Amino acid sequence: MLGQRQQELERLCERLGYKFNDLSLLDLALSHSSWSNEQALPHPFLACNERLEFLGDAVLELVISHYLYTNFPDAPEGELSRIRSNLVNAHSLSQCAGYLQLGSYLLLGRGEELQDGRGKVSILADALEALMAAIFLDGGMEAATKVINRLFARKVESSPQHVGHKDHKSILQERVQAIMPSHPQYKLLSSSGPDHHKIFQVAVMLQGKTLATGIGHSKKQAEQDAAHQALGAFDTTHHESADK
């Protein structure tokens, strides 16, 4: 591993609060398929983070499920599932990746670089999953648990206050129609990723203006996430207008 790259990865370890025994695992976790495909390797899928992403998804779900099960003993199964879904969706994972500034450490192909791949929600979310798998392989479940709990602590504690709503779209529509004769509209912005793991991005609009965007593994999930994000923006805008 080149000296400059090693120094970059060591700085990331400091942000993580975890020191890798094998930095090549961390390097692999940050290697996107667009980069490995350009290296003329016989098996490029072995030099990108997709396999780690597969493992990291399971590690994240297990650690967060155990945390929720232990810390919310009175919550029913459905509530725990909703909280977990809110924590491990692509939007949430990309936020954690942003906190760690993972985008600046990614190895991307030329095409992804030109398309602002370092800021793409799907790429950042996948990289975070791969990173958790790399920590698990390098230091075991105890190390992965410590890092995950530290990264998601604030989100976990605040989730019960935000995931109890069953239908964010309905709530948003009710609030809008209470003050104006209009209703939110949803527009598909993009879809990316393989067929078995697609990420949809949707905008929720009101009177031609975008209130918020959301993402999900289906259009319905993305619309619900957009409505969820829009609720805060809509309330803030309405309150500011009312105060003037």
What pLDDT digit, counting tens, does each position of 31-51 carry?
999 988 888 776 767 789 999
Residues labelled catalytic: 57, 129
Cα–Cα distance for residue pair 185/197, rounded to 1 Å = 25
pLDDT at 164: 42
pLDDT at 85: 87
Helix (H) or strand (E) segment spanning residue 135: helix 121-158
DSSP codes, 43-99? SGGGGSSHHHHHHHHHHHHHHHHHHHHHH-TT--HHHHHHHHHHHHSHHHHHHHHHH
Residues of the chain with pLDDT under 50: 160-166, 239-244
pLDDT at 165: 40
pLDDT at 160: 45
Tokens 């491990």 sit on residue: 88
